[in-house]
Structure 1
Amino acid sequence: MEHTGAPALELRDVVKTFRAQGGEEAHAVSGLDLTVRRGEVMALLGPNGAGKTTTLDMVLGLTTPTSGSISVFGAPPRHAVREGRVSAVLQTGGLLRDLTVRETVRIIASTFDTHRDIDEVLDSAGLSALSRRMVSKCSGGEQQRLRFALALLPDPDLLVLDEPTAGMDVAARREFWATMHAEADRGRTIVFATHYLEEADAFAGRIVMMAGGRVVADGPTAEIRARASGRLVSAEVPAQFRDEAQAVLASTPGVADISWAGTRIEVRTTDSDSVARILLLRLGAHDLDIVSGSLETAFLALTQKATA
């Protein structure tokens, strides 16, 4: 039975261990706490072995935690999957090569008590023009879109995507995410793991970074960038204030680096507000610009620090 007002996804102190060679226990997930609100779009990032796929497998009920608890809309994961509230787009598996695209969707649709219209699903996944093509003749990206179409059949409240654009070229990835934007606009909760940092940057409202089976960062994209690499503040400084700017900012807390290009100063800092006030109010600077660090820089800094 669903708990009224329960979040889409809730993990509490989740641990998952496997038996490694030699009989030793290996921790894939170590004390994971995570809550995903309804309607949220969350990206799960982390290096290989971070625990992303294991976490998603537990959310889908494909495996169970060694300890801790997981609920999906207030119910056990397998119950939510059986009710059609959760669907997944995984990297591999599940397709019969000797069927057409439409036959595949029609057969899977027959396994649900109720399902979305087949033509509507094919259109949503961008497969209407390919509906008569044999699965064996579909490219890797087209097969991934077919998996997405199958995931849409029960009209799920939560979509779980594990590397959803694997095997797609740049154009196909762009089309896929345009479709996902439309699904998110319909109010679906979307959780996806990806190695493409630009996808997380462009699509997710929230980013969770994992390393060593734990969450090492959790927040909006700009916040994640700032935590690891700070912000870059640049401005035009009047020539007569150059020496003063160098001296004052070098002793300002949070400043990591100062560089110059002519009269333009660039300051890397974790406190961009303080630096901006000094530049504008004390030093008469103009043409101020503040830019967050790259998500890639944040990703490397946070995950490497966690596994060091």
Structure 2
Amino acid sequence: MSPESPPLAQLRGVHHRYGRTLALDGIDLSLRGGEVLALLGANGAGKSTAVAAMLGLLKPDAGEALLFGRSPGLLAARRRAGVMLQSAGIPENSRVAELLALTRSYYPSPRTVDDCVALAGLEGLLDRRYGKLSGGQQRRVQFALAICGDPEVLFLDEPTTGLDIDARQRMWTTIRAIVADGAAVLLTTHYLEEAEALADRVVVLNRGRVAAAGRLHEVRALVSQRRISCLSALDAARISTWPGVRSASRGADGNPARIEVLADDAETVVRRLLAEDAALSDLDVRRAGLADAFLEITRSNSTDRDADVAREAA
């Protein structure tokens, strides 16, 4: 991916409302070849609306959506994109092989059936009726339909919901291979470890606005917290009251002797931990992860917007 390469998909100053609800508030997004862009946010943050605008499934109230530099509603643009949405609307009586054959027919140079089966994990499912499959199997079929046209841009809206660990890892491997071949992937996910594993860039939406954007390390760097882990007999509830401590909990990894602490001032907190428990062991200090950054960014952004609303109402 080159930052100078033209975006394959783009939103420019897009606003959109559903009645009185402001879903998108002037957001800008761009997606380039050879990257995974993770679009993160709580429910109602605007993720699905942003994806729908990029796909031409809705017309923004203001601003512009482009797919390959053209209107996303044009057939020529859509034939170069693959889509996996949360709501599929797939005929339940159709066999998987029929669904795959029909979807492949829409594209000028589709992947072979064997490739689709291998990449999406459809072994043994081609003769099954879609409606008789488990939820995880249906998601794998939906993924196969999204990639069968060998798309240059792939939109994945919560793709691994309902998948077991093995199926999720297999989908991640396929996504990485697709991106390595030069395609672009826009990923929305509630699994922040998924964004950590796949994303080159992250955009955090909050109440229809971009709250943060950048590469993974840049988004993590927006918060100063450190995560402290140790084995200790100290009371986690008491630690959570110490100055500089955001939270403290016990047994986060299933080990009741382990304490996890999120702190603004890690050095001071570590000194106090060692001073109060001479038997403390297995101490580990690391930068807060994407999940911690996400929570802090959305919390801060919501507080700022609430203050803006209060000032406007005054």
- Give runs of aligned pairs for residues 262-277 of structure 1, distance below 5 A: none
Residues 206-245 of structure 1 mapped to structure 2, 5 A cutoff = 206-231=201-226
Residue 260 of structure 1 corresponds to which residue in structure 2? 270
Aligned twin of 1:275: none
Distance in 1 (alpha carbons) for counterparts of 2:270 and 2:302: 35
Q: 2:56 touches 2:65 (CA, 8 Å); kept in 1?
A: no
Shift of 1:166: 1.2
SS of 1:70's partner is strand
Deviation at 1:196, TM superposition (A): 0.3
**Counterpart position of 2:133:** 138
Contact 2:7-2:33 at 8 Å conserved across structures: yes
Q: How far does residue 128 in structure 1 lie from its aligned partner after superposition?
A: 3.0
Q: Which residue of 1 aligns with 2:62?
A: 67
2:197 is the alignment partner of 1:188: no
Aligned length: 258
| C-alpha distance 33-80 of structure 1, shift in aligned 2 (>3 A) | farther
Is structure 2 residue 122 aligned with structure 1 residue 111? Answer: no
Q: TM-score, normalised by structure 2?
A: 0.75
Listed as ranges, the gaps of 5+ residues in structure 2 are 230-263, 276-283, 304-314
- The 5 A counterparts of 1:60-99 are 60-79=55-74, 82-99=77-94
CA contact (8 A) 2:5 2:32 kept: no
Runs of 4+ in 1 over 4 A off after TM superposition: 80-83, 230-234, 261-265
* One-letter amino acid of the structure 2 residue matched with residue 17 of structure 1: R
Which residue does the alignment assign to 1:35?
30
Mapped contact 1:91–1:144 kept (Cα < 8 A): no
* Contact 1:88/1:161 (8 A) holds in 2: yes
Distance 1:82 1:94 in 2: 22
Shift of 1:120: 1.8
Cα deviation code 1:266-303 (max 9, x no counterpart)? xxxxxxxxxxxxxxxxxxxxxxx973212111111111
Residue 10 of structure 2 contacts residue 54 of structure 2 at CA under 8 Å; is this kept in 1? no
Q: Distance in 2 between matches of 1:262 and 1:304?
A: 28
Contact 2:68 2:77 in 1 (8 A): no
Distance 2:205 2:214 in 1: 12
SS for the counterpart of 2:221 is: helix
Amino acid corresponding to residue 13 of structure 2 in structure 1: D
State the alpha-carbon separation in 1 of the partners of residues 271 and 128 from structure 2. 57
The residue number in structure 1 matching 2:142 is 147
Instruction: Note the aligned Cα RMSD (angstroms).
Output: 2.5
Q: Distance in 2 between matches of 1:120 and 1:232?
A: 42
Matched residue type, 2:265: A
Q: Does the C-alpha gap of structure 1 residues 171 and 116 become closer, same or farther in structure 2, counting only changes over 3 Å? A: closer
Q: Distance in 1 between matches of 2:160 and 2:227?
A: 32
**Counterpart residue number, 2:18:** 18
Shift, 1:115, TM fit: 2.3
One-letter code aligned to 2:58? T
Deviation at 1:159, TM superposition (A): 0.3
**1:104–1:198: structure 2 CA closer, same or farther, 3 Å change rule?**
same
Shift in CA distance, 262/292, structure 1 to aligned 2, threshold 3 Å = closer
* 1:72–1:80 CA contact under 8 A, matched in 2: no
Distance in 2, Cα, partners of 1:219 & 1:158: 20
Q: Percent identity between the aligned chains?
A: 38
